[in-house]
């Protein structure tokens, strides 16, 4: 029997107007890992049928920046500022990770993302303290079955700003020449350098040259709070380092002209509104990025603080930006905006096709377009909170949650069915995560007051300049 799957009778939201943006009742045919047809009705008698009645069918979500290794310490930082985070995670926990801890953190963190409908994750892995840690991190994301861009971010020693340590280039080359040599696999490689906020300009130039040498994209923090007020993007432009292979994360404290510099260079952006609002990065840059000509993508950032699903992130994005727009209208003497400037459709695009674009994968994923890889989510719309379904995109953005994600396909393979991930030993994954967390805490031995329970607030980090 041919490798064919027919998703039938769902409310199909393709995010591709050329295909037909919306089918109140439609079908999606998948063959050989790719989408081959989207239509109101498809006749495919030899295909396996997935009944999507009373469900939304959409492209898989894309998270463009997550420090997945921190999943072992989820919510320990829910009441921390950025300065607390630097001390608590990078100054206390990170150096204590063994390779097996990195594996267990990445495994449960990536499965958490996949379970919530995130089929593509950029794992911004900046606690790679040895090649063994790197291999363990990659082992976990490969095992998860998700589509993952592995962002090599160096080790904890590199994250003492402002650092003169070069990125561990030999480790990146080893991956590029070995197990992550292909750009067409489920797990691919990018560089996650510190950039000129957290490393010297000389180091940054060498790191960027490394990415160019290896032909991989760059994902880099810029404009996150006080760190980003020194015009880092302007400095990069001045030294000829801005390019279209780059995504800049946060962008809150970048000046408007720096956002235009990014747009002119073809850069993309990743916004993490939950963390940015909590940790003092600044107001989310969503509207300013749009004004500069950049449609942002969305990301979770540190799952040690906030939830690991993009439903909350979409709501934080749209709620904050609509507040800004209405405040601007009142400043103009108007009661409110005459119509919404940021729509639910916009935010859905940020979480799908714009995420794909920021990962350099927009030709492969991000929309339900024939020829693209079949990364698809099926979300139940028959709950009390989704019925009656009057505005499908609005319901997805405002009402949906991970518990409604019923079925997931990654490159045509069903990895979640009837609300449960397939082929995953849940008890083992949870046990490994708990054991690693407990062992790290034991070895921390109260360092800096480290403890669970929610009442540990680390001493705030104080930056030092490189010598």
Clarify whether residues 204 and 303 are in a common domain.
yes
Of 358, 385, 400, the residue that ends a domain is: 358
Q: Is 131 within a domain?
A: yes
Clarify whether residues 55 and 105 are in a common domain.
no
Check residue 466 and give its pLDDT: 39
Closest CA relative to residue 170, chosen from 145, 219, 134, 197: 134
Domain count, the chain: 2
* Distance from the Cα of residue 38 to its chain's centroid: 27
CATH number for the domain including 321?
3.20.20.140
* Distance from the Cα of residue 141 to its chain's centroid: 14
Average pLDDT over residues 258-282: 97
Average pLDDT over residues 386-401: 98
How many residues are listed for the chain in this entry? 467
Average pLDDT over residues 206-211: 98
Q: Is 444 within a domain?
A: no
Check residue 417 and give its pLDDT: 98
CATH number for the domain including 20?
2.30.40.10
Clarify whether residues 114 and 8 are in a common domain.
no
| Residue 421 bridge partners (DSSP) | 416
pLDDT digits (tens, 9 = 90+) for 435-466: 999 999 999 998 889 999 999 999 987 654 43
Using the 8-state DSSP alphabet, how is residue 47 labeled?
A: S
Q: Is 317 within a domain?
A: yes
Q: Is 452 within a domain?
A: no
Clarify whether residues 134 and 48 are in a common domain.
no
Clarify whether residues 377 and 339 are in a common domain.
no
Distance of alpha carbon 154 from alpha carbon 247, whole angstroms: 17
Check residue 2 and give its pLDDT: 57
Check residue 48 and give its pLDDT: 97
Clarify whether residues 327 and 293 are in a common domain.
yes
Clarify whether residues 385 and 351 are in a common domain.
no
Check residue 461 and give its pLDDT: 78
pLDDT digits (tens, 9 = 90+) for 321-343: 999 999 999 999 999 899 999 99
**Residue keyed to tokens 């480790």:** 171
Torsion of CA 157, 186, 427, 431, to 10 degrees: -10
Q: Which residue has the higher pLDDT, 366 or 463?
A: 366
Clarify whether residues 139 and 260 are in a common domain.
yes
Percent of the chain with pLDDT over 70: 98
Clarify whether residues 384 and 310 are in a common domain.
no
Clarify whether residues 130 and 277 are in a common domain.
yes
Clarify whether residues 22 and 104 are in a common domain.
no
Check residue 463 and give its pLDDT: 57
Q: Is 193 within a domain?
A: yes
- Packing angle of the helix pair 201-214, 169-177 (nearest 10 deg): 10
Clarify whether residues 208 and 321 are in a common domain.
yes
Confidence grade of residue 78 (pLDDT, cut at 50, 70, 90): very high
Of 329, 358, 387, the residue that ends a domain is: 358
Q: Is 164 within a domain?
A: yes
**Domain span at 133:** 61-358
On the question of pLDDT at 228 being above 90, the answer is no
Task: List the single range of 19-23, 269-273, 354-358 with lowest mean pLDDT.
Answer: 19-23
SS3 for 372-418 is CECCEEEEECCCCCCCCCCCHHHHHHHCCCHHHEEEEEECCEEEEEC
Q: Is 188 within a domain?
A: yes
Of 326, 358, 390, the residue that ends a domain is: 358
pLDDT digits (tens, 9 = 90+) for 86-99: 899 988 999 999 99
pLDDT digits (tens, 9 = 90+) for 404-435: 999 999 999 999 999 999 999 999 999 999 99
Q: Is 71 within a domain?
A: yes
pLDDT digits (tens, 9 = 90+) for 126-159: 999 999 999 999 999 999 999 999 999 999 888 8
Check residue 425 and give its pLDDT: 98
State the chain's mean pLDDT as an integer: 95
């Amino acid at each position: 029997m041919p490798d064919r799957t027919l998703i039938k009778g769902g409310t199909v939201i393709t995010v591709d107007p050329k295909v037909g943006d919306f089918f109140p009742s439609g079908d999606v045919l998948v063959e050989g890992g790719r989408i081959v047809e989207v239509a109101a009705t498809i006749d495919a008698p030899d295909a396996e049928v997935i009944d999507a009645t009373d469900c939304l069918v959409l492209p898989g979500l894309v998270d463009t920046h997550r420090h997945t290794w921190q999943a072992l310490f989820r919510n320990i930082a829910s009441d921390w500022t950025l300065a607390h985070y630097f001390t608590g995670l990078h100054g206390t926990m990170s150096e204590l990770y063994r390779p097996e801890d990195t594996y267990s953190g990445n495994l449960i963190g990536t499965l958490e993302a996949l379970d919530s409908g995130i089929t593509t994750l950029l794992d911004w892995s900046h606690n790679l303290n040895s090649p063994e840690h790197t291999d363990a991190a990659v082992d976990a994301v490969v095992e998860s079955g998700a589509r993952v861009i592995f962002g090599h971010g160096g080790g904890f020693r590199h994250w003492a700003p402002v650092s003169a340590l070069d990125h561990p280039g030999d480790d990146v080359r080893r991956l590029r020449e070995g197990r992550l040599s292909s750009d067409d696999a489920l797990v691919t490689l990018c560089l996650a350098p510190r950039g000129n906020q957290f490393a010297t300009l000389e180091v940054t130039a060498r790191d960027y040259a490394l990415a160019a040498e290896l032909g991989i994209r760059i994902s880099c923090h810029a404009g996150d709070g006080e760190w980003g007020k020194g015009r880092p993007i302007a400095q990069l432009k001045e030294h000829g380092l801005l390019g279209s292979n780059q995504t800049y994360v946060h962008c809150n404290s970048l000046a408007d002209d720096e956002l235009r510099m990014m747009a002119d260079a073809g850069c993309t952006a990743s916004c993490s509104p939950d963390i940015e609002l909590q940790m003092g990065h600044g107001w989310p840059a969503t509207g300013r990025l749009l004004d500069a000509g950049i449609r942002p993508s969305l990301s979770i950032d540190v799952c040690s603080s906030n939830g690991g699903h993009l439903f909350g992130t979409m709501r934080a994005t749209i709620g904050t930006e609509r507040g800004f727009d209405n405040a601007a209208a009142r400043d103009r003497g108007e009661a409110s905006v005459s119509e919404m400037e940021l729509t639910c459709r916009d935010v859905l695009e940020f979480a799908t096709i714009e995420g794909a674009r920021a990962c350099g994968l927009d030709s492969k994923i991000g929309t339900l377009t024939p020829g693209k890889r079949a990364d698809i989510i099926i979300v139940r719309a028959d709950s009390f909170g989704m019925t009656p379904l009057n505005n499908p995109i609005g319901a997805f953005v405002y009402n949906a949650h991970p518990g409604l994600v019923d079925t997931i396909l990654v490159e045509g393979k069903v990895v979640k069915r009837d609300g449960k991930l397939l082929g995953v030993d849940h008890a083992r994954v949870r046990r490994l995560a708990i054991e690693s967390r407990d062992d790290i805490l034991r070895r921390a031995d109260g360092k800096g007051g480290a403890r669970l329970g929610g009442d540990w607030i680390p001493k705030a980090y104080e930056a030092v300049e490189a010598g």
